[in-house]
């Protein structure tokens, strides 16, 4: 059905490569390209079918253009870092190829999370007759689809959305992040922000927290209010929602380490001079922290990510909770990765399938909740991420 160029051979790229390789009827030909080609080759060697591998510096649009011209993909599936979103979108525009990613663009020198830069490409993508699908991971990604599914199937009007992300896994190390450490720490040290009454309300980083009782035996965990990008797009695309919040679990051990690192300046993203050269402390920290891609073998436990939604159906108040539970060790057995890479890589492959099959089609730049959720919801369990829906009257955060 199509040729896909995957850019990025990290934790998520590995899962995407495995999942695309499992579906040859959709992904007829695969090229995996990244900054370090040896990482692409190592992933290629794990697969049951041959794929092409290439080196590319995706910060350089001209290198991505040259690779697209030589490989001629139908779709570029970008799972490198958010810093490359715009250079890769530029390359797609220049070559007339569709684009998909899992995280919104961030400028390197400011931890600012917003879709505005990518939404600005809408008219140009439309004029070129190509499509960009933004945020096809789990959160953002599946969480947007869960909300679109709730709006379509269960509510006349959604009033509040709480997106709740729990990683109840344990890697046994004192401190490690479960996806790219630089991106992860920029995200969790940013100001908290939620949407209420048509406005954004800011709170100090990780200052608001509550206890939430997770299903399926995971039990009570402390959840922390954070900003997350899917709220920005859903505030625009799901009219009438009064409040939207995003919560994530952190262990005390993780928070203690994070506070120390912040207090000593190791999470700074501005350059400091060290022995005559500029060093960005957070980038140096990334170099000494465990590679999230290496955590798979040692991570046990489960993730539980879902949306708790309140609203009105047939004039009556209604509560709806939809979630996925993913077992880290099952992911490792299947593709050699931990659950956080898996829960991101599988939806990226599903988004790509829907684009290549033509089920999700548009000209311009789109977020996940703008399409019919049905084919995505149907593919989730088939591709390894089953979901559960409940109607727990009175359940709140």
Q: Give the residues lining the site for ligand NDP (CB under 6 A).
A: 7-13, 34-36, 39, 56-59, 79-82, 84, 102-103, 135, 137-141, 179-180, 183, 292-293, 340-341, 344
Provide the minimum distance between the beta carbon of 335 and ligand NDP in the complex, in angstroms, as a whole number. Answer: 13
In the bound state with ligand NDP, the residue whose beta carbon lies nearer, of 35 and 302, is: 35
Q: Are 190 and 104 in contact (CB under 8 A)?
A: no
In the bound state with ligand NDP, the residue whose beta carbon lies nearer, of 82 and 364, is: 82
Q: Which residue is nearest to ligand NDP (CB)?
A: 10
Angle at which helices 339-357 and 11-21 cross, to 10°: 50
What are the residue ranges of helices labelled H in the chain?
11-21, 37-46, 61-71, 85-95, 116-119, 122-128, 142-153, 181-188, 230-237, 252-263, 281-288, 328-335, 339-357, 374-383
Half-sphere exposure of 333 (CA within 13 A, CB side): 7
In the bound state with ligand NDP, the residue whose beta carbon lies nearer, of 77 and 309, is: 77
Provide the token pair at 55. Answer: 């080196």
Provide the minimum distance between the beta carbon of 239 and ligand NDP in the complex, in angstroms, as a whole number. Answer: 24
Provide the minimum distance between the beta carbon of 37 and ligand NDP in the complex, in angstroms, as a whole number. Answer: 9
Provide the minimum distance between the beta carbon of 172 and ligand NDP in the complex, in angstroms, as a whole number. Answer: 19
Provide the token pair at 130. Answer: 């190509």
Provide the minimum distance between the beta carbon of 81 and ligand NDP in the complex, in angstroms, as a whole number. Answer: 5
Provide the minimum distance between the beta carbon of 98 and ligand NDP in the complex, in angstroms, as a whole number. Answer: 18
The CA–CA distances, whole Å, from 285 to 109, 181, 261 equal 16, 8, 9
Q: H or E element: which one contains 213?
A: strand 209-214
Q: Are 12 and 83 in contact (CB under 8 A)?
A: no
Provide the minimum distance between the beta carbon of 283 and ligand NDP in the complex, in angstroms, as a whole number. Answer: 11
Q: Are 2 and 74 in contact (CB under 8 A)?
A: yes
In the bound state with ligand NDP, the residue whose beta carbon lies nearer, of 11 and 311, is: 11
In the bound state with ligand NDP, the residue whose beta carbon lies nearer, of 11 and 373, is: 11
Residues 338, 133, 79, 163, CA torsion sign = negative
In the bound state with ligand NDP, the residue whose beta carbon lies nearer, of 36 and 70, is: 36
In the bound state with ligand NDP, the residue whose beta carbon lies nearer, of 98 and 106, is: 106
């Amino acid at each position: 059905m199509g040729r896909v160029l995957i850019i990025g051979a990290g934790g998520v790229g590995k899962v995407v490569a495995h999942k695309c390789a499992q579906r040859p009827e959709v992904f007829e030909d695969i090229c995996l390209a990244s900054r370090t080609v040896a990482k692409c080759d190592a992933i290629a060697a794990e697969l049951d079918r041959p794929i092409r591998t290439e080196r590319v510096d995706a910060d350089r649009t001209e290198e991505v253009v040259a690779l697209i011209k030589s490989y001629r993909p139908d779709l570029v599936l970008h799972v490198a870092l958010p810093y490359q979103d715009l250079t890769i979108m530029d390359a797609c525009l220049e070559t007339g190829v569709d684009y998909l990613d899992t995280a919104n663009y961030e400028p390197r020198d400011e931890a600012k999370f917003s879709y505005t830069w990518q939404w600005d490409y809408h008219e140009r993508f439309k004029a070129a007759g190509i499509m960009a699908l933004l945020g096809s991971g789990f959160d953002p990604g599946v969480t947007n689809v869960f909300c679109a599914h709730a709006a379509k199937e269960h509510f006349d009007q959604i009033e509040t959305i709480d997106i709740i992300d729990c990683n109840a896994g344990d890697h046994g190390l004192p401190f490690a992040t479960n996806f790219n450490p630089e991106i992860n720490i920029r995200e969790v040290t940013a100001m908290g922000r939620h949407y209420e009454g048509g406005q954004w309300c800011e709170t100090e980083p990780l200052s608001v927290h509550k206890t939430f009782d997770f299903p399926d035996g995971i039990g009570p965990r402390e959840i922390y209010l954070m900003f997350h990008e899917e709220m920005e797009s859903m505030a625009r695309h799901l009219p009438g929602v009064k409040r939207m919040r995003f919560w994530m679990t952190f262990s005390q051990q993780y928070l203690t380490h994070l506070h120390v690192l912040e207090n000593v300046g190791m999470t700074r993203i501005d350059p400091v001079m060290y022995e005559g050269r500029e060093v960005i402390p957070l980038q140096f920290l990334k170099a000494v922290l465990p590679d999230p891609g290496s955590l798979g073998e040692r991570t046990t436990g489960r993730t539980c990510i879902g949306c708790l939604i309140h609203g009105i159906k047939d004039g009556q108040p209604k509560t709806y909770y939809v979630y996925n539970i993913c077992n880290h060790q099952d992911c490792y057995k299947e593709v050699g990765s931990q659950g956080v890479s898996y829960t991101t890589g599988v939806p990226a492959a599903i988004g790509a399938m829907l684009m290549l099959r033509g089920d999700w089609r548009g000209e311009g730049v789109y977020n996940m909740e703008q399409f019919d959720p049905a084919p995505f919801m149907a593919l989730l369990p088939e591709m390894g991420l089953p979901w559960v829906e409940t109607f727990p009257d009175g359940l709140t955060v």
